[in-house]
Each structure stands twice: as structure tokens, then as C-alpha cells.
Amino acid sequence: MVKRSDKVAEQTHKIISELLIKGLKDPRIGFVTITGVKLTTDMRQATVYFTVIGSDQEKKNTEAGLNSAKGFIRKELGHQLMMRFIPEVLFKYDTSVEYGQHIEQILKEIGTTDDGDEN
């Protein structure tokens, strides 16, 4: 059985992704991908995880741009979710992609240094 908060999180993810595709007018927001949305059980707060391709400065700029667009995003969520209470939106950079790439690099290095000899 799917919890209501999971359905709302999925819808929130979809709505915010569509807003980003249509383009928020903030030039600080770079090429951003929403990787997930986690809602509290009371659905009062939504943590939106995102990644950005680019430098650390571009990540900071994108996060600042997203945070400045919170009001607009929340208003759009209100129009489309049809809920009594619209969750507060928090943006958090998703480090799991970088971590995965780091692990993959380590595994490649191990694979290239391993000469196949077992003693």
C-alpha cells in the first residue's frame, strides 16, 4: 500500500521538475536535476534533493537561485496539488551522485592496479 506522503512527494517532484524545464527566470539556476523529494509524515515539509553539473560555485549559485524561487515554487505547488496545507520547500544538494562517481573511480583504480596475481 502506497502512503499518501509518497504520492504527494512524487507529484511534488514532477511539478518542480516541470518548472525547471520551463525555466525559472533566475540566471543563477544552472543545469539542475531533481533527484528526489522526501516529505515529512505530516506533509508540512518537503526536502527537495538536486544535483548540478558544474563547479562548486555553480552549485552554490544554483542553490541560491532555487532558494530565492521558493515562494514561486510553493505557489505553483499550491495551484497543482490541491491540498489544505502546502509543504515548506527545502533544497538540499544531493551528494550521492558524486559519491557514486568517487566509488566508481576507486574501483577502476583497483582494477588497473590489480595484476591478477593471487598468492
> What is the arithmetic mean of pLDDT over 34-50?
93
CATH architecture of 4-113: 2-Layer Sandwich (3.30)
Contact predicate 73/91, CB 8 Å: no
The grid coordinates listed for 60 are 552554490
Q: What is the pTM of this model?
A: 0.79
Q: Which of 54-58, 94-98, 115-119 has the lowest mean pLDDT?
A: 115-119
Task: For residue 116, name the pLDDT band (cuts at 50, 70, 90).
Answer: low
Contact predicate 63/93, CB 8 Å: yes
Helical segments of 46-91, H only: 56-68, 70-81
**Mean pLDDT rounded to a whole number for the chain:** 86
Share of the chain above pLDDT 70, in %: 92
CB under 8 Å to 40, separation ≥6 — which residues? 5, 46, 87
How many Å apart are CA 75 and CA 42, to the nearest integer? 19
Q: How do the domains of the chain map onto residue ranges?
A: 4-113
